[in-house]
Chains A and B, each alone.
Chain A
Amino acid sequence: MAKQYVDMNTPVIEMRNIVKKFGDFTANDGINLTVHKGEIHAILGENGAGKSTLMNQLYGLLKPTSGDILVNGKKIEMNNPRDAIAAGIGMVHQHFMLVQPFTVTENIVLGTEPTKGVSLDMATARKNVVEISERYGLSIDPDAKIEDISVGMQQRVEILKALYRGADILILDEPTSSLTPQEIVELIDIMHNLVKDGKSIIIITHKLKEIKESADFCTIIRLGRYIGTVDVDTVTESDLASMMVGRNVTFKVDKPEQTPGEVVLDVQDLHCLDYRGIEIVRGLDLQVRRGEIVGIAGIDGNGQTELVEVITGLRKGTSGKVLVNGVDVFNKSPNFGFKHGVSSIPADRQKHGLVLDFSIEDNLILQNYGKEPYSQKNILQRDPIFAHATESIEKYDIRPGNSEKRPAGTLSGGNQQKVIIAREVQNDKDLLIAVNPTRGLDVGAIEYVHKYIVDQRNKGKAVLLVSFELDEIMSLSDIIDVIFDGKIVASLPGKGADENELGLMMAGGGKKHE
């Protein structure tokens, strides 16, 4: 990135020596951050390093224990997000803050609804929303309800919501974590358009590639401490990775050659409808054998979400067969599938993966609470449950440690995902389905997740991987199946697959889910 739009003489945000303590825990320990007009500034750090805490202070959600925040050269004190919005700061959160039964338009204008007399003027609101979505090239269906649209679409709505409020300084918390590769390219374009307009962007991300592609400067935080700010042009991805985790990181997945065994998952001529009652999976065939990873590559909205929902029993299909080890689990309960060998890492970890109110130890036994040693004669046995959690926290590096009794909702996204992976991998089923398993995780955590997925394959399990990260699909899969318009349109070996060729097949006839 040439810093063509950066005005180095006009700092818009200065955070000086920020310290934030929660009790005896120091989440931020003397962090400095300067962002200039027209600059894209990346904040890099592992899960739980204190990035979100830092940004929450900038957005008025938390107050620093000590340190100063200057906006446009003026020291200001923010007590709540309203103050931040008034200062021209907008934030897009990693976990969406959307009202599920409301439409896209209603969500975007929420709190700033145009009115006609005393009534809402939804026609104008809709017009405004369409206008702004076209201006920034983020196409959406303004009338769709949030609960009916994909995670990727919801993210777009969040971004539009901040843009709608006309913020000059935009904080994006993991904005690309759920976008498809195409959408990410589009987003980076949007970000460039915004800085050209004189806006500034702070982007929290773990994705080194995107930092290289989009950011001008990058500030690295490790374990709450300020490591440094670098000019992105002068460092490599692996420099950034080592600064972030404090050790050298390998990106390569070690995957021994092996011959796949018999078929575990056999999907035959599957059909199902989406939320609108339109057929989205249209006669799909798919096979996954023991000891292989089959990656589903496709653009969001081509039926992969629904496919997984049918296999795991969360959605009823209209026709077809889903054989797991020869047993048809089609249109059976999730429990039936589980008993016959299906385990999965769901796409929406907070909705399907975890009971956020429950402690980590209780989440770890979600399918096994009724079995020994976790219960005997229907009485929960707290000691084995606790011991199991201690072991999992250790083995899967769930942070913070000693967190057996903490509600899962208090963990960072990456650590929540580790809880789910710990549970599903330890279930040791013949089939593991992983949907966007590394969404929102940092490189350190991604390394772990990939290792566990490949381990399952090496142990002779069948793995079905659905991911919008083409890199992930290509580095893990033995076989890549390209899904387009509800069907598998191509099946090719993962080794030596070409990104451009895949992208082309994924775009098929170019029909998006909108």
Chain B
Amino acid sequence: MSKKKGFLEFVAGNRFIHILLSILLGFLVGAIFLAIMGLSVGEAYGRLITSVTSLKGFSYVIVYSIPYIVVGLSVAFSFKTGVFNIGAEGQFVMGSMAAAVVGILAGGLPKIVLIPLCFLAAMLAGAIWGVIVGFLKTKWGINEVLSMIMFNWVAFYLSNFIAGIPAIHSDGTAEATKNISDNASTLLSKDLINSLGLCPTANWGILVAIAVTVLVWFIIEKTTLGYELKAVGSNKFAAEYGGINVNRSILTALAISGALAGLGGSLQLMGMGSRISVFSSQEGFGFAGIVVALIGCSNPFGVLIAGIFYGALTFGGSKLNLVGAPTQLINVIVGTVVFFIAISIIFQRLRYIRKPAKPKAPAPDKKANGKEAAEK
């Protein structure tokens, strides 16, 4: 039936409003927790705001947000193309380790060669990590979510193992790798940082993140590749009927998504970490990427903003203990935001059912997914 443009526009507008509402609700729930703990809401949130609005604070926010943006793009890309890249975590770890290995072992190379080399190594490592999972899915129908979660752990232990190899391991007592060569670092020069009054880890990775945002948008919206991947993501049966090679598309989507997550890992390492510690638990950048992709509606530019927002929350949150509030408050806020966005997505998804499902009948999406799962 004819539900005109007005209706869709309304829904599209509603989407943005939904996100803003979810964020507001997140802060509201956070405020309730603060009140229960007998802390001043005004003081805590005031602190949160002041800590990110100074120039130095904001430079911290930007630095924090770089990996979130790029991993967010990785997950958003996977959402758009119908694979759920919950393995961004492992691809991120592989990417940062690959960049570290190159940045340590090939440290003598000039900056102009070494930095792109580190990026490439990281993207390759992330892509391989994604493609293996894709291969398991397309070849034997192994559910990608399960294998990705397992591959996250494989990456985790592999990273710890590589960090222990003598050529890589720190010469000192630290349970970490050596520092990467200065030639592999994306940090701004000390003079520039001091004269501008930025944070000590200020780096130009944000430019890469912005460039990648534009690139991802371009691929998704403007290229035949994006068309193919989206078609497979939306309806792989019609895509196959239309002559698109579905398996190749899934592999391509996972390779690109993995490469992005890997790149995120290298940006984090080369701009902030300089070395990789032996982890005792997963760092969670990949999972943060899922949150960022959700808040950004899987739109590349939305992800860019959401990544900065998330960076602000993490950095600002770390300052909360100065007013006696627990830093975990941020997790409460983020969790609530994701919860409400997830609800809004369910309503969004109902948009294509011209005649909504009968009561108690599961949403048709579920039906489609079930079908896909059963197909394999």
Contacts and interface: CB of A to CB of B under 8 A. Distances in A.
A383 to B, nearest CB: 13
Given A110-B360, A358-B231, 4 more contacts: A22-B6, A25-B6, A314-B240, A410-B354
Contacts of B222: 379-380
A339 B355 CA distance: 37
B244 A335 contact: yes
A312 B245 CA distance: 14
Contacts of B234: 355-358
A56 interface: yes
A110 B361 contact: yes
B139 interface: no
A100 B3 contact: no
A93 interface: yes
B7 A23 contact: yes
B223 interface: yes
Contacts of B373: 101
Given A23-B6, A333-B245, A147 B224 contact: no
27 contacts: A22-B3, A24-B6, A52-B1, A52-B354, A53-B1, A61-B355, A81-B358, A91-B358, A93-B355, A95-B354, A97-B355, A99-B361, A99-B367, A110-B360, A334-B241, A334-B242, A344-B241, A351-B238, A353-B241, A355-B230, A362-B227, A366-B231, A370-B224, A379-B222, A380-B226, A406-B5, A407-B8
B335 interface: no
A380 B239 contact: no
Contact of B374 (A27, A101, A355): A101
Contacts, number: 148
B223 to A, nearest CB: 5
Contacts of A375: 223-224
A355 B357 CA distance: 20
Interface residues of B, number: 46
Interface in A24-80: 24-25, 27, 48, 50, 52-53, 56, 61, 80
Contacts of B238: 351-355, 366
A259 interface: no
Interface in A298-346: 312, 314, 333-335, 338-339, 344, 346
Given A314-B240, A352-B237, A82 B359 contact: yes
A367 interface: yes
A386 interface: no
B352 A378 contact: no
Contacts of B239: 355, 366
Contacts of A61: 355-356
A380 B224 contact: yes
Overall SS of chain B's interface: helix
A98 interface: yes
B362 A99 contact: yes
B2 A48 contact: yes
Interface of B: 1-8, 222-228, 230-231, 234-235, 237-245, 352, 354-362, 364, 366-368, 370-371, 373-374
B355 A23 contact: no
Interface residues of A, number: 60
A358 B228 CA distance: 11
A452 interface: no
A355 B231 CA distance: 6
Given A367-B242, A379-B223, A98 B367 contact: yes
A88 interface: no
Given A111-B359, A380-B222, A380-B223, A369 B241 contact: no
Contact of B2 (A335, A353, A400): A400
Contacts of A351: 235, 237-238
B235 A354 contact: yes
B219 to A, nearest CB: 10
A97 B231 contact: no
A418 to B, nearest CB: 14
B1 A357 contact: no
Nearest to B232: A355
Given A97-B364, A100-B367, A346 B5 contact: no
Contacts of A369: 224, 227-228
B224 A100 contact: no
Contacts of B2: 22, 25, 27, 48, 399-400, 412
Instruction: List the 4 closest A-B pairs by CB distance, nearest first.
Output: A23-B6, A111-B360, A335-B243, A366-B242
B370 A56 contact: no
Contacts of B368: 100
Contacts of B357: 97
A409 interface: yes
Nearest to A362: B227
A346 B238 CA distance: 10
Nearest to A412: B1
A27 B354 CA distance: 14
A81 B361 CA distance: 11
A346 B355 contact: no
Nearest to B374: A101
Contacts of A410: 3, 8, 352, 354
B358 to A, nearest CB: 5
Contacts of A334: 240-243
Given A356-B352, A369-B227, A338 B243 contact: yes
Contacts of A50: 1
